[in-house]
Chain A
């Protein structure tokens, strides 16, 4: 079945450093979404990427969707303590419409 792999599992950074998490699907995706889950909370939608090679920015966050629509990345510039949480990618394939989540990357930021 479809699998969505995400690395790294954990990332510890000093405040001000950059952070990147990578997502790779075993199949071509129709779209990919990114979510943030704070400790003890529920996933909150960040963004959706649909087009091949698409790049979207939200302030310090940059999201990319690969040309083959099988991989994606989230890059945070100059991390802040408010960025702490687990970031999940979730891909939807071309069939069935199910959203399959990656394992998540837990980000901790040291002030």
Chain B
């Protein structure tokens, strides 16, 4: 089955530093990858949609200069949280849509990255 990996699985950083999270589709090509954020006991909130080779589309209220997204290939997207602050602490989850499964529209989720900013 389709597998999406994320790295790192957890990270602790000091306030003001930047953190990069990688999302990879391991056995399929993903034209589109999505980045979600989930606070404890809450739902997944879509942050941005990332298309390979083009600029990401950010949801309303998400600062594009703070959450930098790069989708350099059909199997890799990165999210960089710049100048992280404690309020950025959250569970970040990426999701990828299978190129071959466009008609089916299934999205496969990565295991998530738990970010804690001290």
Contacts and interface: CB of A to CB of B under 8 A. Distances in A.
Interface of A: 1, 31, 33, 35, 41-45, 48, 88, 92, 97-104, 106
Interface in B57-71: 60
Which of B46, B93, B105 is most buried by chain A, counting CB atoms within 10 A of its CB?
A: B105
Interface stretch (B14-22, B76-84, B109-117): B109-117
Label chain A's interface by main secondary structure: strand
Contacts of B45: 101
A100 B111 CA distance: 19
Contacts of B42: 103-104
Contact of B109 (A1, A44, A98): A44
Q: For chain B, which range describes its interface: under 10, 10 to 19, 20 to 34, or 35 or more residues? A: 20 to 34
Contact of A101 (B41, B43, B60, B106): B43
30 contacts: A33-B106, A33-B107, A35-B109, A41-B112, A42-B93, A42-B109, A42-B110, A42-B111, A43-B44, A43-B93, A43-B109, A44-B109, A45-B106, A45-B109, A48-B104, A48-B105, A92-B105, A97-B32, A98-B34, A98-B46, A98-B49, A99-B95, A101-B36, A101-B45, A102-B43, A103-B42, A103-B43, A104-B42, A104-B43, A106-B41
